[in-house]
Amino acid sequence: MSSRPLYARMLRLKHITPGGVLCFVFLEGALALGALLALAELVSWWGVIVLPLTVALMVKLNDVIAGMLPMSAATGEPVAARAAVRRSIAGESTTRLPPGQGGVKRPWVERVELQQQLARQSATRRYE
């Protein structure tokens, strides 16, 4: 028997892996919410069926979109996350890019960091 929940297998999810609790919330939670909305007469009784189908459609759409994102072969994380601005412990203000692409200087980063440091120092002095 597969270790994936039935909900994930029924939707044939390939790129996202919701756990058992999340699958429970997706299916039974949507059913319960639809029933509560129908009992409160905010939606018709079709809402009890339509709401879980809509949630399943959105989960499947999320899986398809996740499959279209470019992935890093080494780490398995999206390229956008890997190429985000990172600072080293030494405090340099360059963007780390994959080897061979060089770094991009960002002079405004130093000004923002200086302003944040001054704000922290003044707050520390205020409560001494």
CA 102 to chain centroid, in Å, comes to 28
Q: Is the dihedral of CA 27, 30, 35, 36 positive or negative?
A: positive
Give me 73's structure tokens. 């072969």
| Closest listed residue to residue 15, CA positions, set 60, 67, 70, 72 | 67
pTM of the model: 0.54
Residue 76 has pLDDT above 50, yes or no: yes
Q: How far is CA 7 from CA 17, 49, 62, 65, 67, in A?
A: 10, 16, 14, 18, 18
Across residues 104-108, what is the average pLDDT?
Answer: 63
Q: Is 68 or 78 the better-scoring residue by pLDDT?
A: 68
Determine contact, residues 30/55, Cβ cutoff 8 Å.
yes
Residue 101 has pLDDT above 80, yes or no: no
Which range scores top for mean pLDDT: 3-7, 17-21, 33-37, 102-106? 33-37
- For the stretch 77-90, pLDDT in tens is 555 444 444 444 44
Q: 3-class SS at 92?
A: coil
